[in-house]
A and B are shown apart, each in its own frame.
Chain A
Amino acid sequence: MLKRFLVPIVLVVVLVMSGCVKTKSDVEEGAKPGNDGKKDLSKVQVELLGMSSGESDLNIVRDQLVKNGFDVKLNLQPDYGSFKAQQDAGNYDIALSGWTTVTGNPDYAVRSLFKTGGDYSIMSDSEIDSLIDQAGTETPDEYQATYKKFEERLVFDKAYIVPLYTSYKTQAVNKDILNLDSVRLSKSRSLPWEEIEFNDASKNATDPLVLSQSMSTLTSLDPIKGNDGSINIINTNMHVRLVNLTDDDQITSEGSLSLNHSIAEGNSEYYFLLRDDINFAKVDSKKAVDSGERVGADDVIFTLNRAKDKDSVPDHRTYTLHEHIKDIEVITDLGSLETIKQSGSDETVKAALEKGLGNTINSLVDDKTKANSEEGMYQVVKITTTEPFPQVLNYLAHQSAGIVSKKQVESINTFDVASFDVNKDIPYGDQNTVTEGSQYNNTLYTSGPYILISKNDYEAEFQKNPGYMTGTKHEPKISNVTMRFIKDPDSTLAALRNNEIHLFYAVPETKYDVVESDSKLSLQSIESNAVSYLLFNTKNREVSESEDLRKAILYTINQDDFISFYKGNKTKAFSTLSPIVKTGNELVADPAKAKEFLNKYQETK
């Protein structure tokens, strides 16, 4: 019985099913050749290098490449150290890279990355070099066109990089504890701690402000010896600079060592009128005390001279930022300021420097201890650049230009730089001198609102500088700051929600929902200067030789996929300049073009 009906039943089922079921080949008919994850020898293999923190981006790139006929080999490294080692060894075709322009000026966004011989540059293209140099001397109105040309050469013509997206900068704040209005979020500038206050102002003097950071090994507390995530925020809050950046990356004297600054005609001379109400802080038996030494012109000159000099300290990491500084001098001749006009205006430099001051400038002094703003006695510092270079002010606002004490640094760094022995000599700012234990010997002299008392693997403790702009609105509100070192963002978020920390900087996109659904937290967000891009290997690889192959990859990448993956929390980018200069360039994914370039590449092979 059963068997007699079996065959017809099966046949009918198959017929009915095949009528209404679409198979994969039906759907893909006429479309690109399918990819079933199997290896095809004719496919071009590319090796993709990245860190596991960029796993999501790597997966999107991998997916797009695979869908466009590439065979992708992933080289996933657990941390930056191993990533860098792989990159230096050249074990990649494409490396997932990121760049944040912490100074907020376009020159920094391109010089060290793409110019021949730049700090992080692996390429050499004379046209790119000349465009970078040309744009550096230009004003914002002029450089827009130059940078547009530069971008076109970098991406469209040569395909040295493939831009992915621009990120937002976010922080989550516990608004039940902190006064939300006092917590700033700036595009480039690090968070100024001195402005933050508790909702309950009576706690400012007693309770510590608890922040967090992922890295517990601090590169160096000497501002010029580090430029990375482990010390940028710390050094910014420990050292005052000649100028600051506003939240949207404009130059300002507000909250800096200068009361006013002015650019003289010709864009090569820069004048700064110094404050007289900042003293260096030092640590005495684990307490921050006023050293009694004022921050003055001699410290500025000493700081900037060592900042631009490659050989001033061993392992100098930031001299390229300051290579445009030619001379730094203190001005004592008040008359000279009255004759020089300010750039782009009829006002004299003196008038510009006096703007908003209670007292006019009566005289200029050489000795910092004699300066007295009440009596109109001031110090003025003049910086001359090697060529007209208005963006120098952005570099002066960077943490590496933080003012250090001439007296103190000279008394610590007594060794000879050329014969520096890492086992014997202890340079100023060495993190071991502030780490709890036998080597503890805190010799820091800080000009900023806070000073680091001590640290261990779990946290660092800061106290306010008692001699920092006392009585002004810039005097630090909260007396004690604790920086917790929490490696993993998930744990950091948990700590924030448990009131263990008060603020979480750089919330991952996947956690926005969680932060927003927590009533005591507030998520602040601003466009940042952080750009992610793919960098091609420039040596000994197919991609380094073939422009066609690079372009095939360039047109494969679809930025919209990244934006939808991050739920709109990323924006399009064209180069590392994108967040700073609006050039109007846009990369549009074009599978047809990608195919065309890939075919071209395969023909020439």
Chain B
Amino acid sequence: MTQIEMENKQALKPKSQMKSDHKKILKLSPEYTQSSFAWITSLALTIVFLLNCFDFSTKTIKPFAFSAFLAYSLFTLIQIGLTVAIRKDILTSGTIRKTTRKLGFIQLLGVFTGNVFVVSFAFNVIKEKKTPEYMFAVYMVMTQFFIIAISSLNLFKPYVSNTFLLAMTLLVAILVFQLAATLLVAKHVTNQSTKRWMTWIAIPLILTAATGNLFALILGYGLLMKGRSNDLSRIDKWDTMWGKITRNTTATLGLFFIIFMFSISVCSNFTFDYSMAVENNYSALLQPPSISYPLGTDDFGRDLFTRIIFGARISLVVGFISTIIPAVVGGALGAIAGYYGHRTDNIVMRLLDVLYAVPGILLAIAIIAAFGANITNLIIALSVGSIPTYARTMRANVLMVSNYQFVESARALGSSDLSIIFRQVIPNSLAPMIVKATLTIGGAVIATSSLSYLGLGVEPHIPEWGNILKLGSTYLETHSYLAIYPGLAIIALVLSFNFLGDGLRDAMDPKLD
């Protein structure tokens, strides 16, 4: 159908139907939806900066917030223009023109303003055929860049940690290497395969994941698999699953934020000075945010920014471990109950029902009150309460999976029960567990913070988000930033886990295919 014919056809339709047709066409273009998402979030951030750049009490303009507002409004305007251009392209020709895609390179500059939404869109739009590897590479570079940017804020402090220079040099070198790798990935990796020599890049890439940048690990693994493996179905499965996740903007941004937080918790060991987070400084009490104290200082003169960075570590560690423990314990119990059925099932599940009847947070409070407040007890307290829910999920899956033919054939071949459970049943029941675990990590992060907030978590001087928030709550009216920033950090991390969990569910749930 030529373009004229199409236009003619459209002209015959009533206006309302044309509109809904447009909507359908635009909905099919991932770039268009991403672009809309980017300008809306970017505009929201611009408004936040606008509201912040004017000091209402002294009637003056804050230079820093104002310049941030200007930069953000510039990129928001370009983004709106791009959205309009994409819309026009799609409605007229069905695809996005090369010239429009080229405009994405301008938006890449948004990385210097820290605008993740615009940048992630730009990477999406400049490449027409996107492989999961390309997306990993892009996010890997972004993570690395933001780590370096955040760490270099320490340069404005009176002094930096002893390992700062060395660590920063290494981080920059890794960034350069990763940039080069990204260019190669963009050029040489397709959906089915890659050149064999690309696997030589994969190994150093995996090594750079030691900075906590897990995107490098996933990318390296993907490259290795595509370069070495001939198992097309495996590659296809990989591409389908990650393709679904990377096409989901919110899930990818969630994953990005989680990996970013993880990476900064690793790198902060070397680029941040822990003493600034725990040692009191009476000459800098309750300082408002400034260049040397990016988020201000608390009532003991400790740098809030450093405290939040170090707090991420505890939140992540407690969140992960207190999810993994019940997932493993509950998963094993659920699998046994589901596979053997009858009496075993009854005994295991009824005992777990007893545990299920005790409210989780109350159980945690009781455990901590009895055994004292420290990180180990905190993890145990949070783990115990969520064992039954994992057992239930696992049991339901195992009940379903153990009736499949491949299980029966394994049994016919004489495999032992244990080998059937661990080789056939569990791997095929894992998907819902992973989704559930991702969704509950957020809950665990909140529970950790809540317990600290109640004074039942770690010691008060240890930087932990709940602790920081608790201290901030005393100053809600006079120094509100003390509560806002840790609050935002908790919200962002929990939201990220929830988005990622939703994305994983969409990608893994066979019912949604």
Contacts and interface: CB of A to CB of B under 8 A. Distances in A.
Which one of A35, A36, A78 has the highest number of Cβ atoms from chain B below 10 Å of its Cβ?
A: A36
Interface string B166-188: 00110011001000100000000
A326 interface: no
B169 A10 contact: yes
B299 A23 contact: no
B273 interface: yes
Contacts of A24: 159-162, 273, 275
A490 B169 CA distance: 48
A392 to B, nearest CB: 43
A63 B300 contact: yes
Interface residues of B, number: 33
A27 B276 CA distance: 13
A55 B460 contact: yes
B327 to A, nearest CB: 32
B475 interface: yes
B280 A60 contact: yes
Contacts of A2: 176, 180
A3 B183 CA distance: 14
B164 A510 contact: no
A243 to B, nearest CB: 41
A560 B282 CA distance: 9
A233 interface: no
B285 interface: yes
B164 A21 contact: yes
A14 B455 CA distance: 44
A18 B165 contact: yes
A599 to B, nearest CB: 23
B459 interface: yes
B161 A60 contact: no
Contacts of A58: 460
A540 interface: no
Given A17-B165, A21-B165, A59-B280, A26 B275 contact: no
A357 interface: no
Contacts of A76: 373, 455, 459-460
A561 B280 contact: yes
A513 interface: yes
Interface string B276-306: 0011101001000000000000011000000
B478 interface: yes
B159 A27 contact: yes
Nearest to A67: B279
B282 A565 contact: yes
Given A13-B169, A21-B160, A26-B159, A63 B279 contact: yes
B167 to A, nearest CB: 11
A493 B475 CA distance: 13
B460 A60 contact: no
B455 A59 contact: no
B102 interface: no
Nearest to A82: B369
B461 A63 contact: yes
Interface residues of A, number: 41
B153 interface: no
Given A26-B159, A76-B459, A514 B478 contact: yes
B273 A60 contact: no
A564 interface: yes
Contact of B162 (A23, A63, A66): A23
A37 interface: yes
A52 B455 CA distance: 8
A66 B477 CA distance: 32
Contacts of B475: 510
A59 B460 contact: yes
A14 B165 contact: yes
B280 A22 contact: no
A419 B450 CA distance: 49
A56 B474 CA distance: 12
A510 B158 CA distance: 28
Interface in B445-481: 455, 459-461, 474-475, 477-478
A63 B285 CA distance: 15
A62 B160 CA distance: 24
Which one of B168, B282, B373 has the highest number of Cβ atoms from chain A below 10 Å of its Cβ?
A: B282
B460 A513 contact: no
Contacts of A23: 159-162, 164-165
B182 to A, nearest CB: 13
A564 B460 contact: no
Interface string A301-314: 00000000000000
A565 B300 contact: yes
A401 B455 CA distance: 39
A37 B158 contact: no
A439 interface: no
Interface in B169-219: 169, 172-173, 176, 180
B57 to A, nearest CB: 12
B285 A22 contact: no
Nearest to B179: A2
A74 interface: yes
B146 interface: no
Contacts of A498: none
Interface in A503-533: 510, 513-514
B275 A513 contact: no
A472 interface: no
Nearest to B172: A10
A6 B176 contact: yes
Contacts of B165: 14, 17-18, 21, 23
Contacts of B158: 22, 27
Contacts of B280: 59-60, 63, 561, 565
B172 A13 contact: yes
Contacts of B278: 37, 63
Given A23-B165, A63-B300, A564-B285, A490 B273 contact: no
A25 interface: yes
B170 to A, nearest CB: 10
A177 B292 CA distance: 46
A94 to B, nearest CB: 16
Nearest to B276: A24
Nearest to B170: A10
A64 to B, nearest CB: 8
Interface string A64-106: 0011000000101010000000000000000000000000000
A37 B300 contact: no
A37 B169 contact: no
A454 B168 CA distance: 69
A56 B160 contact: no
B274 interface: yes
Contacts of A78: 455
Given A22-B160, A510-B475, A10 B173 contact: yes
A513 B280 CA distance: 22
Given A24-B160, A24-B162, 7 more contacts: A22-B160, A35-B275, A59-B460, A60-B300, A74-B460, A490-B474, A561-B282
- Give 7 nearest A-B pairs by CB, closest first: A27-B159, A63-B280, A22-B159, A564-B282, A513-B478, A23-B162, A561-B282
Interface of A: 2-3, 6, 10, 13-14, 17-18, 21-27, 34-37, 52, 55-56, 58-60, 62-63, 66-67, 74, 76, 78, 490, 510, 513-514, 560-561, 564-565, 567
27 contacts: A6-B176, A10-B169, A10-B172, A14-B169, A21-B155, A21-B160, A21-B164, A23-B160, A23-B164, A24-B160, A24-B161, A24-B162, A34-B275, A35-B275, A36-B274, A37-B274, A37-B275, A59-B300, A60-B300, A63-B280, A63-B300, A67-B279, A76-B460, A514-B477, A514-B478, A561-B280, A565-B300
